Amino acid sequence: MIPPKYLSVIAAILLAVLTAFVGVKTWNAYSEHDTIGRPPDVRDTITINGEGKMTSRPDIARVSLGMISEGRDVPTTQKSNTDQVNAITKAIEALGVKEQDIQTSNYQIFPQYDYTDGKQVLRGYQVSQTLDVKIRDLNSIGTILAKAGELGSNQVYGVTFDIDDPVELQREARIKAIEDANEKAKELAKQLGVNVVRVVGFYEDLGGVPPVPYFRGYAAEGMGGGEGVPDVKPGSFDVTSNVSITYEIR
């Protein structure tokens, strides 16, 4: 049993320890709040948008040539379709299209039916095949389309124009966009009576090089030879770069 005269001493010691513990916890919490996760020094900034654009003529065309053949049985129809495809491939290669620029993208066989007195009767089969062709000599597009039609291509899909390697145009468009933003930033800073210190943020949205469609597709009947050579216009299009630059000002 603890003598009564010591109880007050023990109570005083416990109170002092508890007070010190609470004080340390409070200081630690304050220190942590003051140093960890503290927001960085706030800087004065302006954000400016700039745009750059390069106009160019396309240097390649893409076209899909379709061949649809019908016959009473699969082997005969396949052979007929294959003969047409081979003849077209040989002809367009002779017109300057490289072998690596010709690719088969679709091959399908479908049964064909007639309906007589409510009954389904097999009439034969349809074989379809599509060649995706990249044309680098734009002056030969019309001749290639006409020759393909003459040799049996009865579907043409989506002639589009494009730039084979747009990287340099995109780079030049970006340079123009940055120059545009810099000029705007200098002008605004002058109006505000401040100085531009440095760039602290940058974002670019490349507008890209969207292919330019000439037409989506049509049956090629009557497109072969002579005065029937299609007159295809490649036109031109824009390569754009849009930038957003954040500047520190003082």
Distance CA 111, CA 70 (A): 9
CA atoms within 13 A on the CB side of 91: 20
pLDDT of 36 over the 50 cut? no
Number of domains in the chain: 3
Greatest Cα-to-Cα distance within the chain, rounded to the nearest angstrom? 126
Structure confidence by residue, pLDDT tens digits, 83-111: 999 999 999 999 999 999 999 999 999 99
Q: What is the pTM of this model?
A: 0.66
Is residue 22 situated within a structural domain? yes
Look up the domain containing 192 and give its range: 45-55+168-208+243-249
Structure confidence by residue, pLDDT tens digits, 208-232: 555 555 444 444 444 444 456 778 8
Distance CA 74, CA 143 (A): 32
Percent of the chain with pLDDT over 70: 74
**Is 183 in the same domain as 197?**
yes
**Is 225 in the same domain as 156?**
yes
**Is 187 in the same domain as 96?**
no
**Is 2 in the same domain as 94?**
no
